[in-house]
């Protein structure tokens, strides 16, 4: 008879997780780095006790449940999805606080395991504190809200269900094409119930992470399309980085001369000074990338899901004969835009295409255009880095200073506001993991928590978190967690007194920054003086070293001091929201009111109706 171990459901869960390993390219890693959590009545006696009993499976105390999922997401992204965290909470608000983090994980295709407490499975104790009651069914809780934002969802209503649920969770978490948030709802009584589990189930298991090769005929057809193309453009998405295919991409484009544009998730696929790198594409793209996208007769998408920012709301590709080759491990993404679906690992696909294209190279004329566009963009970036804006400081100048003091292996972290657009264009990435942007969900509050996750994944790298005052006010408390864990962060807070990104969008829509500035209420509207916030005092109260930079020189000196410090540092700099980095050859579909009493809105609507005509269906 096979040996068994009598443990609780929660103990079995933690013992199972601590013994899961993954292997790719012959390298084996422990999959789970530990568990983040905040305890309440729904998990303290179950998962909490199990974590206490397994001190070699580290427990990390966060300050906010949403933030801990963001930290877990950033950690996994930095590890190219090969290591993850679990996150546990009580039933109720602790659980639902994780919903935003779960959506962030799933939308960005990043694995994270969520273990929220749940209502009593035996039901006799009801309604429990924080329980949602329904007159239609007793088989529902707030955890059902996780279903649309999870790649896999289950409720463990009996201890033996772990035997099937945990392997299914691992299948999804380790799938290159299907990964995202996995939610296992854990009723608080079931967590504490014991049963005999097979010891083999709780022992070591190694999950192989595959590198699927593309269909041979699809590779042949893709090579044929490239050979016949006059103006091909390759779009590098996050799949290039997760596949660790940057070396293969470098060789492929060096051989063929095909230019590369990068999505937010794919930025860093090539260093900014690579001869084939045109930088960002789409709504937040460079003029060179967007001009070539407009004229391209072939788009080679590698590891991209073609978000609306990447495609400029389906207006980026205007060549009537444009075709698409979509290289992706996810069949869903490979089939977009009616393209040739090459369902494959990015590294293997690029290597096989390089062999099939031996001797092919873009025309001399096209290569010359690529070179000219790169030179023009380098001059534009230098101009924006040295605006000498008066009075005040521009956001692009701040980016220039930070870029100049960082080293190649340092990591820049950001997520929301106007910063992602400016950074996508302007940041000069020199390392594949040096640009960490959460832009699938563009989630305000991700930045500092995400910076913590990056630092936990790469303790030997300096991590620079750029965050606007709006995001900082939403979720700054993980500074305290970083202090607790000894994870040094360099945080730069850009204070523009409100939501500058949406303010600019509101202006473009004819609404004049309505509701986007931190102002006192005056005569019924928010039109009074600016409401001041002492971010330096706030950061210092959380344990950080905090300073205010009143000039670009002071900013540079503060960053140099921060770099040499062993403690998390927050540098606050006030920026003028008006001097904005232009949009280059792109457009974003933000619908404008069809009727309005405002002439500025009516004018914006007329421009919108003209622009929306450029949107395309690719049939």
Kindly state whether residues 473 and 522 are assigned to the same domain.
yes
CA distances from 159 to 12, 116, 169, 170, 587 (A): 9, 16, 16, 18, 53
Kindly state whether residues 103 and 235 are assigned to the same domain.
no
Kindly state whether residues 430 and 557 are assigned to the same domain.
yes
Q: Is the peptide bond before 127 cis (omega within 30 degrees of 0)?
A: yes
> Which of these, 86, 149, 75, lies nearest to 115 by C-alpha position?
86
Q: Would residue 608 count as lying in a domain?
A: no
Q: Would residue 589 count as lying in a domain?
A: no
DSSP string, 154-194: EE--SGGGHHHHHHHHHHHHT-TTT-SEEEEEEEHHHHH-E
Q: The domain that contains 41 carries what CATH number? A: 3.40.50.970
Q: Compute the CA torsion angle 292, 295, 301, 306 (nearest 10 deg).
A: 100
Residues 6+ apart with CB under 8 A from 358: none
User: Three-state SS string across 408-429, please?
Assistant: CCCEEEECCCCHHHHHHHHCCC
**Pure H helices in 475-598:** 478-485, 500-508, 535-541, 552-564
Q: Would residue 614 count as lying in a domain?
A: no
Kindly state whether residues 452 and 322 are assigned to the same domain.
no
Structure-block tokens of residue 168? 């299914």
Q: Which of 148, 183, 208 is the last residue of a domain?
A: 208
Specify the pLDDT at position 1: 56
> Which of these, 410, 42, 384, 407, lies nearest to 192 by C-alpha position?
42
153, containing H or E segment: strand 152-155
Q: Would residue 276 count as lying in a domain?
A: yes
Tell which phi-psi region holds residue 321, choosing left (phi > 0), alpha (psi between -120 and 50) or beta: alpha
Q: Are 133 and 127 in contact (CB under 8 A)?
A: yes
Identify the domain containing residue 427 by its residue range.
386-574
Residues 6+ apart with CB under 8 A from 148: none
| C-alpha span between 123 and 139 (Å, rounded) | 9
Q: Which of 315, 350, 372 is the last residue of a domain?
A: 372
Kindly state whether residues 269 and 203 are assigned to the same domain.
no
Kindly state whether residues 166 and 257 are assigned to the same domain.
no
- Cβ atoms < 10 Å from Cβ of 296: 26
Q: Is the peptide bond before 366 cis (omega within 30 degrees of 0)?
A: no
Residue 513 CB-density burial (10 A; 0-12 exposed, 13-18 middle, 19+ buried): middle
> Which of these, 37, 33, 43, lies nearest to 10 by C-alpha position?
43
Q: Would residue 562 count as lying in a domain?
A: yes
Kindly state whether residues 273 and 323 are assigned to the same domain.
yes
Q: Would residue 618 count as lying in a domain?
A: no
pLDDT tens per residue across span 76-85: 999 999 999 9
Structure-block tokens of residue 616? 């395309």
28, containing H or E segment: strand 27-30
CA distances from 37 to 42, 90, 139, 425, 474 (A): 12, 9, 25, 37, 20
Structure-block tokens of residue 550? 């009143």
Give the end-to-end CA distance of the chain in Å, rounded to a whole number. 60
| C-alpha span between 535 and 574 (Å, rounded) | 11
- Cβ atoms < 10 Å from Cβ of 584: 18
Q: Would residue 275 count as lying in a domain?
A: yes
**Pure H helices in 19-156:** 47-53, 65-78, 93-96, 99-107
Q: Are 181 and 147 in contact (CB under 8 A)?
A: no
3-state SS, residue 377? helix
Q: Pairing relation of β-strands 435-437 and 490-495?
A: unpaired
Backbone angles phi, psi at 209, to 5 degrees: -90, 110
| C-alpha span between 248 and 250 (Å, rounded) | 5
pLDDT tens per residue across span 194-248: 999 999 999 999 999 999 999 999 999 999 999 999 999 999 999 999 999 999 9
What is the DSSP secondary structure assignment for residue 614, as one 8-state letter? G
3-state SS, residue 352? helix
Kindly state whether residues 46 and 161 are assigned to the same domain.
yes
Q: Would residue 293 count as lying in a domain?
A: yes
Kindly state whether residues 107 and 61 are assigned to the same domain.
yes
Q: Which of 552, 574, 596 is the last residue of a domain?
A: 574
Tokens 């789970």 found at: 32
Q: Rounded to two decimals, what is the model's pTM?
A: 0.97
Q: Domain count of the chain? A: 3
3-state SS, residue 487? coil
Q: The domain that contains 273 carries what CATH number? A: 3.40.50.1220
| C-alpha span between 599 and 602 (Å, rounded) | 5
| C-alpha span between 417 and 21 (Å, rounded) | 37
Length of the chain equals 619
Kindly state whether residues 180 and 241 are assigned to the same domain.
no
Residues of the chain with pLDDT under 70: 1
Kindly state whether residues 359 and 392 are assigned to the same domain.
no
Kindly state whether residues 59 and 18 are assigned to the same domain.
yes
Backbone angles phi, psi at 48, to 5 degrees: -60, -50
Helix and strand tally (H, E) in the chain?
A: 24, 23
């Amino acid at each position: 008879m096979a040996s068994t171990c009598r443990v609780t459901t929660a103990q079995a869960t933690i013992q199972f997780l601590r013994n899961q390993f993954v292997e790719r390219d012959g390298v084996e890693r422990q999959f789970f780095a530990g568990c983040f959590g905040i305890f309440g009545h729904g998990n303290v006696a179950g998962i909490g006790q199990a974590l206490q009993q397994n001190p070699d499976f580290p427990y990390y105390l966060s300050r906010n449940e949403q933030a801990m999922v963001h930290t877990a997401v950033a950690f996994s992204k930095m590890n190219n999805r090969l290591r993850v965290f679990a996150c546990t909470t009580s039933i109720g608000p602790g659980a639902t606080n994780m919903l935003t983090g779960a959506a962030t994980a799933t939308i960005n295709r990043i694995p994270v395991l969520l273990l929220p407490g749940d209502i009593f499975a035996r039901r006799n104790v009801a309604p429990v504190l924080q329980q949602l009651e329904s007159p239609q069914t007793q088989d529902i809780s707030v955890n059902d809200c996780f279903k649309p934002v999870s790649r896999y969802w289950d409720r463990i209503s009996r201890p033996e269900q772990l035997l099937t649920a945990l392997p299914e969770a691992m299948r999804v978490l380790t799938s290159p094409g299907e990964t995202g948030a996995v939610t296992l709802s854990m009723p608080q009584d079931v967590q504490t119930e014991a049963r005999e589990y097979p010891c083999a189930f709780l022992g070591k298991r190694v999950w192989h992470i595959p590198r699927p090769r593309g269909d041979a005929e699809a590779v042949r057809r893709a090579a044929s399309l490239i050979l016949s193309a006059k103006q091909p453009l390759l779009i590098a998405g996050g799949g290039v980085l997760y596949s660790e295919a940057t070396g293969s991409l470098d060789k492929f484009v060096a051989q063929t001369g095909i230019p590369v544009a990068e999505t937010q998730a794919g930025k860093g696929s090539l260093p900014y000074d690579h001869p084939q790198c045109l930088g960002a594409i789409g709504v937040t793209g460079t003029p060179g990338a967007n001009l070539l996208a407009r004229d391209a007769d072939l788009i080679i998408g590698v590891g991209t899901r073609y978000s609306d920012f990447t495609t400029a709301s389906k207006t980026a590709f205007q060549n009537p004969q444009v075709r698409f080759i979509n290289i992706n491990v996810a069949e869903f993404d490979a089939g977009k835009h009616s393209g040739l679906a090459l369902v494959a690992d990015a590294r293997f696909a690029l290597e096989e295409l390089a062999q099939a294209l031996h001797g092919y190279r873009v025309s001399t004329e096209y290569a010359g255009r690529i070179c000219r566009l790169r030179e023009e963009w380098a001059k534009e970036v230098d101009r924006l880095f040295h605006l000498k804006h008066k009075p005040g400081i521009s956001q692009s100048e701040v980016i220039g200073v930070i870029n100049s003091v960082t080293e190649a292996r340092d990591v820049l972290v950001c997520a929301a506001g106007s910063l992602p657009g400016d950074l996508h264009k302007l940041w000069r990435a020199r390392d594949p993991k040096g640009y960490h942007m959460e832009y699938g969900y563009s989630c305000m509050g991700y930045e500092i928590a995400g910076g913590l996750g990056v630092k936990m994944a790469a303790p030997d790298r300096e991590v620079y978190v750029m965050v606007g005052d709006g995001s900082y006010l939403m979720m700054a408390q993980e500074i305290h967690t970083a202090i607790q864990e000894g994870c040094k962060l360099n945080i730069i807070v850009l204070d523009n007194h409100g939501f500058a990104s949406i303010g600019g969008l509101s202006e473009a829509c004819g609404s004049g920054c309505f509701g986007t500035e931190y102002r006192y209420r005056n005569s019924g509207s928010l039109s009074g003086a600016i409401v001041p916030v002492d971010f330096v005092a706030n950061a210092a109260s959380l344990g950080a070293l905090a300073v205010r930079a009143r000039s670009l020189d002071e900013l540079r000196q503060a960053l140099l001091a921060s770099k040499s410090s062993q403690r998390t540092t927050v540098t606050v700099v006030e920026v003028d929201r008006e001097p904005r980095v232009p949009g280059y050859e792109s457009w974003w579909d933000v619908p404008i009111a069809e009727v309005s009493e405002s002439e500025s809105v009516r004018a914006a609507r007329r421009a919108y109706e003209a622009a929306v005509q450029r949107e395309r269906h690719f049939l």
